[in-house]
Amino acid sequence: GESVGLHLPTLSVQEGDNSIINCAYSNSASDYFIWYKQESGKGPQFIIDIRSNMDKRQGQRVTVLLNKTVKHLSLQIAATQPGDSAVYFCAENINQAGTALIFGKGTTLSVSS
């Protein structure tokens, strides 16, 4: 069954605002998490990942926060742009060979200019 989920199916923001997309996971053994972006007609694209021994990781305009106490993951996008409009998925994995990523439902981010 599904072990990863997102809190909101849709999020609408204005261009230039900061966006926060949330995700809850249920498998305490998960030790590797990834955020993906999927644009229409394309496969999921890697955005940023984080291991369970970290609680924050920053990339270019994106930050992932991990709270293992409450099993919560979030993706922050700074200065959101129209090109950020897509569906965002979080995924979890127990980092062992032979296991696979489990995905949540996804949040559709719409950015208006």
Partner 1 sequence: ETGVTQTPRHLVMGMTNKKSLKCEQHLGHNAMYWYKQSAKKPLELMFVYSLEERVENNSVPSRFSPECPNSSHLFLHLHTLQPEDSALYLCASSHAGVGYTFGSGTRLTVV
List residues binding partner 1 (CB under 8 A). 2, 4, 32, 34, 36, 41-46, 89, 91, 93, 95-106
- Residue 26 structure tokens: 């249920």
Strand locations in 52-113 (E): 56-58, 62-67, 72-77, 86-93, 102-103, 107-112
In terms of CB distance, is 41 or 83 closer to partner 1? 41
For residue 21, the minimal CB distance to partner 1 (Å) is 15
Distance between CA 38 and CA 57 in Å, rounded? 21
- Closer of 89 and 111 to partner 1 (Cβ): 89
Phi, psi at 83, each rounded to 5°: -70, -10
- Minimum distance from residue 79 beta carbon to partner 1 (Å): 25
Instruction: Closer to partner 1 by CB, 35 or 77: give it.
Output: 35
Q: Give least dist CB 93 to partner 1, A.
A: 6
Phi, psi of 88, rounded to the nearest 5 degrees: -110, 130
